[in-house]
């Protein structure tokens, strides 16, 4: 497989604005908090972690519950993928339950995965070129921007970004901008054959967002969702 043209950047701890589709700053991120707990107590039981508490306490039922804005989203299930800068309307062909509503066995496996990654990154550092996957080992994503405020939306690498910043809060972490070549089969649903990611999704260009062009959302509604990722403390 030929390597697509890739570009990247380096991000700071305060740049991260999400855990999968959940708007949350990294200091409140249960993955990040769980890494801190593992560093302080390597033998911690999974039921004593922030991640376990998150899975048992975070229970949205609709997209409105997830974003806290736009009334019409009360009619759409929380597992319907929908980012207004990517999708024309909520996707119903598949469900996305990442970091939401899972059983104990799954949570336990996630904590074990984090412990393994912590040990690896502590020993080897964050060296994505040595651990190749379909995204060349890198954390990937793009920026969300409103006026002078911008944050980095992590598309893949939620565990790794949490570990890197828990181990060293002042470092900068190399990332790749998301690329359509990275998309898995189901992720291509609802985005069109000519889809291409932007490095920055700016509210100044909201009229070009798929959800606005389709008239599913008004410009103000679409902007209000993006701002949720930027302004949470």
Question: pLDDT tens, 155-170?
Answer: 999 999 999 999 999 8
Instruction: Please enumerate in sequence order all residues whose Cβ is within 8 A of that of 49, keeping only pairs 6 or more positions apart, or say none.
Output: 30, 33, 34, 37, 38, 111
How much is the average pLDDT of 145-164?
A: 96
Q: Please tell me the predicted confidence (pLDDT) of residue 130.
A: 77
φ, ψ for residue 74, nearest 5 deg = -65, -20
Say what angle helices 50-57 and 30-40 make with each other, to 10 degrees. Answer: 150
Strand partners, 176: 8, 140
The token duo for 38 is 């593992």
Question: pLDDT tens, 92-106?
Answer: 999 999 999 789 999
User: pLDDT-based confidence at 80, cuts 50/70/90?
Assistant: very high
Calculate what percentage of the chain has a pLDDT beyond 90. 80
Burial class (CB within 10 angstroms; exposed 0-12, middle 13-18, buried 19+) of 220: exposed
pLDDT beyond 90 at 139: yes
User: pLDDT-based confidence at 182, cuts 50/70/90?
Assistant: confident
Helices and strands in the chain: count of H runs, count of E runs: 7, 7
pTM: 0.94
> What 3-state DSSP class applies to 74?
helix
CA 88, 221, 232: angle at the middle one, nearest 5?
A: 110
User: pLDDT-based confidence at 3, cuts 50/70/90?
Assistant: low
């Amino acid at each position: 497989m030929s390597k697509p043209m890739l570009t990247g950047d380096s991000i700071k701890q305060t740049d991260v604005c999400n855990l999968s589709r959940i708007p949350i700053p990294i200091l409140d991120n249960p993955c990040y908090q769980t890494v801190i707990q593992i560093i302080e107590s390597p033998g911690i039981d999974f039921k004593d972690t922030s991640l376990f508490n998150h899975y048992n306490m975070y229970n949205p039922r609709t997209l409105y519950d997830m974003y806290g804005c736009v009334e019409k989203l009360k009619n759409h299930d929380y597992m319907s993928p929908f980012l207004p800068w990517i999708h024309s309307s909520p996707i119903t062909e598949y469900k996305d339950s990442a970091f939401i509503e899972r059983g104990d066995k799954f949570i336990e496996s996630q904590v074990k995965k984090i412990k393994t990654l912590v040990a690896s990154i502590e020993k080897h550092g964050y060296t994505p070129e040595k651990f190749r996957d379909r995204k060349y080992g890198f954390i990937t994503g793009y920026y969300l921007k409103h006026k002078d405020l911008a944050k980095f939306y992590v598309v893949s690498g939620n565990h790794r970004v949490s570990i890197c910043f828990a181990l060293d809060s002042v470092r900068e972490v190399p990332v790749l901008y998301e690329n359509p070549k990275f998309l898995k089969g189901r992720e291509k649903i609802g985005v069109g054959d000519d889809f291409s990611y932007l490095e920055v999704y700016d509210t100044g260009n909201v009229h070009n967002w798929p959800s606005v062009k389709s008239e599913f959302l008004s410009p103000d509604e679409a902007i209000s969702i993006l701002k949720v990722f930027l302004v949470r403390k």
